[in-house]
Chain A
Amino acid sequence: MNYGIEYSGFPAVLEGYNDANWISDSDETKSTSGYVFTLGGGAVMWRSSKQSIIARSTMESEFIALELAGSEAEWLRNLLANIPLEIKPTPSVSMHSDCKSAIAVAKNKLFNGKNTHIQLRHNVVKQLLKDGTILVDYVRSEVNLADPLTKPLGRKIICDTSREMGLKATRN
């Protein structure tokens, strides 16, 4: 048997998931961002990293994660467009987030907050949405593949998301 990431080639579209946790543990003041990109039935790119700035709310921390994943989506999309593959033209990368407020803020053309560092990220996401590089939509937390990259979770969710990321044991 082999435990690894299996790519079946289907579906042949790039999809992104992103998530963040906001102060889940006692003496951590910064949140953790996480994102996963899947292509061809398996995860092709993932990351879990501590955020560099302090977020004041769940929405802010999710928004920071969205911006991080969004810029990565832009790079991945360019990479796919540059390699002579069958799949063309590259459609917008749909980014799945489990935070409705962050999605609403991303889709709003005006930014009502007062923090410059969040405004900067808002501009980046706004630009990505305007260019058609990414699309943002909502998924439930349980099916968000980036969920286990930001917080400790139970056995069932770990198992389900791992399978969705293409991680499975296969007989030789």
Chain B
Amino acid sequence: MSQPEGCVVSGQENKVCKLLKSLYGLKQAPKQWHEKSNQVLISDGFSSIEVDKCVYTKCVNNECVIISLYVDDMLIFGICIDILIRTKSFLALKFDMKDMGEASVILGVKIIRKDDSIILSQEHYVEKLLRKFGHYDSKSVTTPYDANSHLKKNKGDPVDQTQYAQIIGSLQHLMNFSHPDIAYAVGRLSRYTHNRNQDHWEALARVMKYLRYHELWY
């Protein structure tokens, strides 16, 4: 254990700080956070379910609360309002927490409530994506992938690799959360991320144009 380069205090070269609390960004921080949140929830009578450790449930007198946890984003479900309020005030005691009220956005997905249905939409994300990569004004197409484009491995030099990877990353996020319809196209195109050429670029542009098609509906 030694002082980091550039921060050496002369005369006290052998002294180092002892870390009392794990900090944000530390390698051990995720584990520490999990242990803390887990312990707090269990102390309130919650138990995590067998198949997914991030889902906690608690039942009191046939009234149930479900908590789904994504790192530090939390959704609390329940039918009975009293027990929900009790849960929230308990958690507010233990954590520095912000109550966002009725959930409207979770992990970048908008939750829209209708009379008898719920819609999960990422429309704003699509718009941001199209604007960022300059496809907002392009013509639209009705299918995400052209059956006649026989994509092959690129034997030559890669073209504009960084941007391709960026778009693939954004599209994968979109596909995972709210767009099963582009799953095949995205899966297929991500096979060529390391070495792509003009053909792949065109196929990728087609996916963007397909997303534009749904934008145009309004």
| Chain A interfacial residues counted at CB < 8 A | 46
Q: Which of B17-25, B86-94, B119-127 sits within the interface?
A: B119-127
Query: Which residue of the partner chain, among B116, B146, B181, B191, contacts A158 with CB atoms under 8 Å?
Result: B181
The answer to whether B143 touches A158, judged by C-beta atoms less than 8 angstroms apart, is yes
A-B pairs with beta carbons under 8 Å apart, 12 shown: A1-B218, A5-B119, A6-B117, A7-B120, A8-B117, A32-B187, A48-B183, A82-B52, A82-B55, A148-B183, A152-B146, A167-B180
The answer to whether A25 touches B150, judged by C-beta atoms less than 8 angstroms apart, is yes
CB of B95 to closest CB in A, whole Å: 23
Query: Which residue of the partner chain, among A25, A47, A49, A169, contacts B151 with CB atoms under 8 Å?
Result: A25
Q: How far is the CA of A42 from the CA of B117 in the complex (A)?
A: 10
A115 near B: Cβ within 8 Å?
no
Contacts of A1 in B (CB 8 A): 217-218
B1 near A: Cβ within 8 Å?
no
Interface string of A78-106 (1 = CB under 8 A from B): 11001110000000000000000000000
A residues 1-47 near B (Cβ < 8 Å) are: 1-9, 25-27, 32, 34, 36, 41-43, 46-47
Q: How far is the CA of A83 from the CA of B67 in the complex (A)?
A: 10
A155 near B: Cβ within 8 Å?
yes
B105 near A: Cβ within 8 Å?
no
Q: How far is the CA of A42 from the CA of B120 in the complex (A)?
A: 10
The answer to whether B118 touches A6, judged by C-beta atoms less than 8 angstroms apart, is yes
| Chain B interfacial residues counted at CB < 8 A | 46
B residues 113-147 near A (Cβ < 8 Å) are: 114, 116-123, 126, 142-147
CB of A89 to closest CB in B, whole Å: 16
B residues 62-98 near A (Cβ < 8 Å) are: 64, 66
A109 near B: Cβ within 8 Å?
no
CB of B139 to closest CB in A, whole Å: 15
Apart from A27-B153, A79-B52: 9 A-B pairs, beta carbons within 8 A: A3-B121, A3-B217, A4-B120, A7-B118, A8-B116, A8-B117, A26-B152, A149-B183, A153-B147
